[in-house]
Amino acid sequence: MTAGASSPGSSGTTVASFDARLVRVPLTRPWAADVTSVGVVATHVVRSDGAEGWGFSWTPQIGAEAVHALLAHDIAAWTVGRSAEPGEGWLPLWQHLHEAGGGGITTIAMAGLDLALWDAAARADGKSVPQWLGPQRSAVRAYGSGVNLHYPLDELVAQARRWVDAGFDAVKVKVGKPDVAEDLDRMKAVREVLGPDRALMIDANQRWDLPRATTNLEVLAAVAPAWIEEPLRADDLYGHFELSKRLKASSGIPIAVGENLHNVYRFDDFLRTGAAQIVQPNIVRVGGITPFLGIAAIAGVYGAAVHPHLLPELSGQLALCLRAVPGVPEPLVEDVEDAAFGELHALQDPSPVRIADGVLTETPHAGLGLRFA
């Protein structure tokens, strides 16, 4: 399994201690009636040379306690005394944990260790993670996003206006109402606010089957979506492959997946078969920076765009480091309204990134700059 790119250098250090704690971060703008907070498992590693690093695992509503247990028990017991070099132990740990599952809770928990090790390595050199990896660009475009399927039409339109006023030139909106005519009315209203030159992406969050996706996208093509995200059940490889063929023959809307794919193998499956044209790995859900870099490398081979999912304070830093591929769009970073950790006052330090006029840049910080309060 390709875990990811090699780190800049080997320190020869080991993990002296590792711990994790579970915190709940309240959301200013609930994502649903029962999603009023997100779960963060904050992690802390101390290396044998005294260097420290901080990372985290993340899951919005389900499984945070299970992730914490896996980190505090199995991962902590496995990692102490082993190499602290970022990426070096990722595959052996994945193999060790595999009987608990090759993805999902397993890889989400693994991210808590992986991020802390990358953070420690960069901090030990007095650099941020982008500086340590080698930035490929000084800024990256961000797009406005929201968990808004439950919004009344007037509230959705108001959100779209806020995105325009904030300088975003691309936005993403949820679709998946029982009647596609309602989806179309909502998207037409958003398109009217955006105008013809801003990109409008749509996200069905796995709500359709293949026949319904085919029919609904014929209707929604009227608003010229830049992509359709998760139109089908996330693990339905054949369905996405068939839908991709149908869309190429009709509207040409690209398919984006990755929010709920959890390892390098599945990303390779979707890209190799042509079932998706855009990948959106969530850096925490895939297991951290190490596998994320591997997924990005595979996407480059297939000529697919990489737009990291959520968590702009983390995703934005890694997007700055992704190598440009000729003919492939530059990465975009997702900025969900009122959901960044800095905006939620969840961090000890100022946010490591800044988003202004639809553009994300790095701010001065060490490591990942993501220590939770």
C-alpha–C-alpha distance, residues 239 and 209, integer Å: 8
The pTM of the full predicted model, rounded to 2 decimals, is 0.94
- Mean pLDDT check: name the lowest of 122-126, 276-280, 337-341: 337-341
- Mean pLDDT check: name the lowest of 5-19, 44-58, 140-154, 289-303: 5-19
Measured at the CA of 82, the angle between CA 76 and CA 84, to 5 degrees, comes to 90
**For 210-243, how does the pLDDT look when each residue is reduced to its tens digit (9 = 90+)?**
999 999 999 999 999 999 999 999 999 999 999 9
C-alpha–C-alpha distance, residues 162 and 147, integer Å: 15
How is the chain split into domains, by residue range? 15-124, 130-362
Q: Using CA of residue 14, residue 16, residue 22, residue 23, what is the dihedral sign? A: negative
Burial class (CB in 10 A: 0-12, 13-18, 19+), 151: middle
Question: How much is the pLDDT for 12?
Answer: 86
Residue 283 has pLDDT above 50, yes or no: yes
Question: How much is the pLDDT for 9?
Answer: 45
Residue 309 has pLDDT above 50, yes or no: yes
Provide the token pair at 183.
Answer: 């989806």
C-alpha–C-alpha distance, residues 285 and 324, integer Å: 24
Question: How much is the pLDDT for 11?
Answer: 58
CB atoms within 10 A of CB 62: 11
The closest of 241, 239, 238, 233 to 259, measured between CA atoms, is 233
Residue 155 CA, distance from chain mean position: 26
Residue 158 has pLDDT above 60, yes or no: yes
Q: What is the mean pLDDT of the chain?
A: 95
**For 118-138, how does the pLDDT look when each residue is reduced to its tens digit (9 = 90+)?**
999 999 999 999 999 999 999
- Mean pLDDT check: name the lowest of 5-14, 284-293, 303-312: 5-14
- The mean pLDDT value for 54-59 works out to 97
CATH class of 130-362: alpha beta
Question: For 15-124, CATH number?
Answer: 3.30.390.10
Question: How much is the pLDDT for 61?
Answer: 85
C-alpha–C-alpha distance, residues 25 and 35, integer Å: 11
In sequence order, the 6+-apart residues with CB closer than 8 A to the CB of 91 are 1, 3
Residues annotated as part of the active site: 174, 309
The reply to whether 15-124 and 130-362 are identical in fold is: no
Residue 170 has pLDDT above 70, yes or no: yes
C-alpha–C-alpha distance, residues 18 and 373, integer Å: 18
Confidence of residue 33 (pLDDT cuts 50, 70, 90): confident
